Amino acid sequence: GLMRKLITYMMEDPRTISSSIDLIFVAKAIERVGDHAKNLAEVIIYIVKGTDVRHNPVETVESMVK
């Protein structure tokens, strides 16, 4: 995906290494935000419904909270 494209981009033009590394850090930060949002949603579901939805596929969680 993204990492492979960035590596290819850096190899083709080494002047892009600095900006490509910045993009990698941004992508990791966005991934962490998503992980935190998922964790918050799981806690909220537990508080409201009393159901522990951690470690379940999204489809299962959707059917559990309806």
User: What are the structural domain ranges in the chain?
Assistant: 2-65
Give the DSSP letter of residue 55: T
Query: Which is the CATH superfamily of the domain at 2-65?
Result: Phosphate transport system protein phou homolog 2; domain 2 (1.20.58.220)
Give residue 14's pLDDT. Answer: 92
> What is the pTM (predicted TM-score) of this model?
0.73
Give residue 38's pLDDT. Answer: 95
Read off the pLDDT of residues 4-26 as tens digits, 9 standing for 90 and up: 888 898 999 999 999 999 999 99
Indicate if the pLDDT at residue 2 is higher than 90. no
Read off the pLDDT of residues 23-58 as tens digits, 9 standing for 90 and up: 999 999 999 999 999 999 999 999 999 999 999 888
Q: Return the residue matching tokens 């590596």.
A: 7
Distance of CA 53 to the CA centre of its chain: 18
61 neighbors 53 (Cβ within 8 angstroms): yes
SS (H, E, C) 12-62: HCHHHHHHHHHHHHHHHHHHHHHHHHHHHHHHHHHHHHCCCCCCCCHHHHH
